[in-house]
Amino acid sequence: RVAIPTNIGATTPEEAIENEQKVMLLKLTSQDSSDRTILGGLERAALAQRSHGATAESHALWKRQGFDDLSSGAMQWKFLLRQLKGSCTIWEGGSSLDETSLFAKSRLISSLLRKRKNTGDSKDDKSITIAGTNETVKRWKLDLTEGYERQRRRMLPNYEFHGLYNIDENADNVEYVDEVGLKVNQEGVTGDDNNEGALDVSDEVQHPVDGRSSALDMEVTADLLKKMKLEKIVDDEEDDLENMEDEDNDYAAAADDALNTHTTFSVEDQSARANELESKKAQNVEDTDKINESDTGEREAEAEESDKTNISASSYDLITGLLKAGDWPEKSYNVNRCTGLEVRKALLLWCRNAIYVVDGFEQTDGEGLKGKINRLKKVTTSFQVNIRQHGAQNSDATEKTKSKEKVTESTEEEITYQHRSQRIAFGDLYSVYRRRYQLQQNALEFYDVHRNGTLIAFSNNVEREEVLSKVLATPLPSSIFSSSVLGGATSINYKKFMNNLRAKITSQWVHGKMSNFDFIMHMNSFAGRTYNDLTQYPVFPWVLADYDSEELDLNDPSVYRDFSKPMGGQNEKRAAQFRERYEALEQSYEFGDGPPPFHYGTHYSCAAYVLYYLMRLEPFSRLALSLQGGKFDVADRLFHNIGSSWSSASSENLQDVRELIPEFFYLPDFLVNSNMFDFGTTQLGKTVHDLTLPRWAKGDPKRFIRIHRQALESDHVSRHLHQWLDLVFGFKQRGKEAVAALNTFVHVTYEGQVDLESITDPVERESIIAQIQNFGQTPSRLERKPFPPRVVLSAFKERGLDFNALASLAALTPPFCVVGAPHRVYLRVLAVDTCKVGMAGQMDSSVGDLCHVKGQLLGVGRTCALILPSKKYYRFGGPNNGVSVHVSMTSARYREVNKVLSAHDGMHRGPISVAKPSLNGLWLVTGCVDSTVRVWKYNGQNMQLQATLCGHDGGKITCLDISTTFGSIVTGGSDGKILVWDLRTLTFLRTLHHPASAQNSVHDGSAKSPVKSVSINHKNGNFVTLLHSTVCVFDINGNLIAKQDPGFNFEGNEVPSCAIATDCPEWMESGIVAVAGHMNGDVSLWSIDYDTELLVLRHILPERVHSCPITALRVSGDRQDTLLIGDKSGKMSACETVKLEQLNASELESLMVEMQMGDD
């Protein structure tokens, strides 16, 4: 027998290859034709080459994916760390964990703080044990996104404050009171080291040319203008006008040339990618907010490694990790991103579905996507500032001197890196505007649907027009340029579109359909003014001239400034001096010795003036410090008294003709020194802290802002505002009319008067730019003829009632107030109906939502929510843990009501308890029985999850609301908590502290009442809440504005069952701000008494249509004069504000008597 060997098995790869080669060799040798042998060799060579290429491409693809993962992972990890600090569940919100648990919030935070302080002081634990609030947030900053009327109202947590000013967060003795007021812990003692902090300011912030001298005192002189040797772009005003007429054709031609020369660049050679693996690992991508590095050694190592990276980096793999999956740059541009005074070099990447702006990179040594990408260093400088102690009196002069010396000695520079990647999807683009940058027409400003503005300056005008043309040629469904707005037009002429839009807006203002504030903001935008450039900040007029009276009568013309004259002409004595200056300069100019004549050596708007007003408010405080060389200006020159500033600008100071900024009419936060900066003491011994307000403001910043806005919207201002518009934006801006109106400034401040391209010396060019920006920039001229005056009408006249005036008065009448008699509120039932849509499967007949469509009252069931733009509705609460979309109203496309259009299952881990779509139908917010909230985007077909929000302490979500105007989400739960979230960043903001919750917790220890209703005012961001039986109103920053009068103790079936907010702005004091439905079917309307901070019951519907609990309310109508009501039985009603035409003679006579008494 033959023994079977034990090593028999499958052949090895080497043996298999050898055997296969032998077989192939036998086949080849068996062929008779030598031609076949040669042909086979060629085929094998080609196959080997293709195989090698495929392998190399596969390897390069994997390496690129690895680079993407590394870059994207680093960015997402740091973003996650930032979210954890601001997340409700980790740092700021309530946790359902037991406080005795090892992982309880208080234990985690106290443990972290002990590690940071290396001490075991038990006081730290006690100060952070309260859950469900934002005690860890001590500092706040202004949110730079814009809301209704382009107002920026919201304050965000300023987590960078302590790192920015080098203040120990644990030792910070400032306790949270509210978002506009901070107090100092009287028990703590703060030493000199804690009072002084370091401020990191980028060297890219534009500094004044005169060093530490005050930018406010810088005035242009004839000698200074001679030294500048500036050349005009246009020779005279007539040529300027002709060029303005033809600029659109030039821009279009430039764009066409750029597009014709555009080439598609291929991807970098794959073999070059293999040498870049080590360079990719050195890239440290940071998110939008600045994260200070603490280890100097790591910075130096990173800088050294970055230098190596710049040598080897030669493709766009360096930044592909910052792009969304599926996006790939087709073309890139070197640009500057401008935010206030901070300017960062960046790359603008054009992709198929979006554009990206990536900070901190620059393309050199090559064209297109084959260029070399350099990572730019960012030099930062540290300055010392003092934090003011609460109740501190005048400081010792010696200590101040020491502090100043320490500031000088401790200044140092360091190298950091910051890369921010911003994606602007074309589907989310709202608008794009041409802008000037450094007096050149080379910038664009993009706004997304969240009204977040991004100002981008290009290298030249050709690149700007190329990008603008490509953007306008792209489908923009959410923009003002969408086809629905343009009536189906396929091409967009930018200048023609903007001119038509401006004419439409002007017509609306003239006929009383737009507020004065909104119109001025529109004119600023059309003239190139923007929040994103402090040198071209929106300009507003001084309105009042009386800052000394105890009370202010807005019907008295003497309390207002003269709108026909600029600030330099308000005082005749000072105006004569300005005329003499102009005549002297005119004579010198005629003899060829001097610049063109001007009245004022300063301007009414510049970066220094903006920061002068906003120095108390972050992030403008650090910009003010950087502009002044690291320290705040002398106390006497700071903005400390509004009356003194008016006197200086109107009569006392020849170098001061400044106007105001928009914040004076809507933002009380900038008047308060909430960050406790030490601004010093004036020569008269007054400590500069909060702004000193006029007597008629009664020491209340909110009252000042409210009355100031009422003055702007008064009849007197409405009649004369067009005269001021002529001076700033109109025909009196230049030429003979400007000379006659005493309204000429230094010629270099006007558009088209400086040709920077002719200056070849870069040092001289930068110096001239810095000087011009300090002078200020005059807005672009919008009209060459007078602005039309606004039509101001009154319904009641001496002879009787003018019914023709009611149409003009309706738009600006407060919600639910009678047009022509805004002090009266009266509603009448318009229609009654029964809800039938969406009722299938409900255990009761409760109405969940309703709307008014073409005069028809439409309602849906309790577990439904209407999608207003599309005439559909969501149905939720089913066992599928999701929602379904149904037809709510028949149309040409959908013939069957309640038809299921789509179903979306598994949206939560439990049944959905409440759902609320946004007014535009693009967002959906859902609340679950497991206390989670989820935010979705709905595009008509797909439901895309954006975020899961966690913060409620167990129980179901009972109510919620969403506002895309101010980017806010508010949620209420059965735990009694009311939380506010940021829709833009999908993060937690703050908790609303309802007074009813405090009352319930003090009593018999019973469980907290569930929140019944939350609602958002879409014009100012205020919140209306209903908890237990108390209705409250909070502002957008969580401050309690008004609560229900304690005298209204609703009991039994009189208790409110739901409440909603109207869109009444705070300056309309007579308007209805909240509507409440009650258990007995009553409906009450409430306004605010701002003096007592109480809600005032203005009206209860006299007609008792409903007799069971009200379950749904909605305010409808263009001017919010219609109230829709639904109850538990399924009955619906529509009530409308009474019109004067509907009143009888006796009722009209009584109204006329009331109006006359009010005027008296």
Q: 86-106: b or e for each residue (b if 16 or more CB lie within 10 Å)?
A: bbbbbbbbbbebeeeeeebbb
Q: What is the pLDDT of residue 665?
A: 96
Locate all alpha helices (DSSP H) within 730-837, ordered by sequence: 735-740, 762-775, 806-810
CA 504 vs CA 498, 513, 536, 539, 1129: distances in Å: 10, 11, 24, 22, 46
All residue ranges of the chain with pLDDT < 70 are: 1-11, 26-40, 58-137, 171-318, 366-370, 378-385, 388-418, 483-490, 798-800, 996-1007, 1154-1160
pLDDT in tens, 3-36: 444 444 566 777 777 777 777 776 666 655 555 5
pLDDT in tens, 910-935: 999 999 999 988 999 999 999 999 99
| Structure tokens given for 860 | 């849906």
- In the block, tokens 């008294």 appear at 641
Q: What is the pLDDT of residue 424?
A: 92
Q: What is the pLDDT of residue 940?
A: 79
Q: Would you put residue 1120 in left (φ > 0), alpha (ψ -120 to 50) or beta?
A: left
- Looking at residue 550, the DSSP 8-state letter turns out to be S
Using only C-alpha atoms, what is the Rg of the chain? 34
Q: Which of 102, 129, 211 is nearest to 627 (CA)?
A: 211
Task: Report the DSSP pairing between strands 932-938 and 827-834.
Answer: unpaired
Neighbouring CB atoms inside 10 A of 229's CB total: 9
The pTM is what? 0.80
Tell me the C-alpha distance between 620 and 632, whole Å. Answer: 12
Angle at 688 between CA 683 and CA 693, to 5 degrees: 110
Q: What is the pLDDT of residue 67?
A: 57
Locate all alpha helices (DSSP H) within 591-658, ordered by sequence: 607-614, 620-627, 642-647
736: exposed, middle or buried (Cβ count in 10 Å: 0-12, 13-18, 19+): exposed
Q: What is the pLDDT of residue 519?
A: 96
Asked if the bond preceding 619 is cis, omega within 30° of 0, the reply is yes
| Cβ contact 69:76 at 8 Å | no
